[in-house]
Amino acid sequence: MWKKRIEIKPDEERVIKNVERARQKTFDRAVNLLGYKPRSVVELRSRLMEKEWTNSAIVEEVIVKLEGYGYLNDGQFAKDFAASQIRQKPIGKRVLQQKLAMKKLDKETVAKAIETAFEETPEAEIIERAVAKRLRLKGKPETREDSKKFYDYLLRQGFSYDLVSRVMREIAARDFDEES
């Protein structure tokens, strides 16, 4: 299911008859959108500009007002989003960075959010959850091909090459110890 791309008209083509009413409607829409789910400033700005009854000046006023109220904060949004993603599914730094980048956040905010998220829950702990889940679903890798698939799965989840290699060696060592 793809979202229909809405063409955003430039401010020159927008005709606003009642500025106060447009400001109120824009504010109400912003609060409604934020009530539905948290959003970054850029996401909210683009969603507000979809409507023809507002313009960029009004949207900027509304965004400044919402930031003043504390409803809109990219740093907090990024930290909360990162923590939520890690809680939902064990993913590594690379995948988390891609998901945050899709939210149109600046690189500095993304870096701080990732750093905070992985301070609270170390990546080694997260990969252990991923390994446990995979072992529960697929069982221990029996063949070289199974091991390769397991290895690739962990890399696709965004974990670093070094971390995945270390974990796979530990799994192989555990299997060897159990056989002895």
**What's the pLDDT at 175?**
62
Residues 23 and 65 in one domain: yes
- Does 5 map to a domain? no
pLDDT band at 126 (very low <50, low <70, confident <90, very high): very high
Judge whether residue 180 has pLDDT over 50.
Answer: no
pLDDT band at 2 (very low <50, low <70, confident <90, very high): low
- Does 113 map to a domain? yes
List the domain range (segments joined by +) for residue 153: 123-179
Q: Domain count for the chain, please give it.
A: 3
Say how far apart CA 119 and CA 140 lie, in whole Å. 30
More confident residue, 174 or 75: 75
- Does 49 map to a domain? yes
Q: Mind listing the pLDDT tens digit for each residue in 137-157?
A: 988 888 889 889 999 999 999
Instruction: Please list, in sequence order, all residues whose beta carbon lies within 8 angstroms of the beta carbon of residue 145, skipping any fewer than 6 positions away.
Output: none
Read off the pLDDT of each residue in 38-45 and give the average, rounded to a whole number.
Answer: 92
- Does 6 map to a domain? no
Judge whether residue 121 has pLDDT over 70.
Answer: yes
Read off the pLDDT of each residue in 161-175 and give the average, rounded to a whole number.
Answer: 86
- Does 38 map to a domain? yes
Say how far apart CA 87 and CA 118 lie, in whole Å. 11
Supply the pTM of this predicted model. 0.80
Q: Residue 50: helix, strand or coil by DSSP?
A: coil
Residues 172 and 140 in one domain: yes
Residues 108 and 81 in one domain: yes
Read off the pLDDT of each residue in 154-175 and give the average, rounded to a whole number.
Answer: 88
Residues 116 and 127 in one domain: no
The CA-based dihedral angle spanning residues 134, 136, 140, 142, taken in that order and rounded to the nearest 10 degrees = -90
**What's the pLDDT at 14?**
67
Q: Mind listing the pLDDT tens digit for each residue in 73-100?
A: 999 999 999 999 999 999 999 999 999 9
- Does 84 map to a domain? yes
Residues 59 and 82 in one domain: no
Residues 78 and 65 in one domain: no
Residues 57 and 92 in one domain: no
Read off the pLDDT of each residue in 14-37 and give the average, rounded to a whole number.
Answer: 89
Kind and range of the H or E run holding 88: helix 74-88
Burial bucket for residue 106 (CB in 10 Å: 0-12, 13-18, 19+): middle
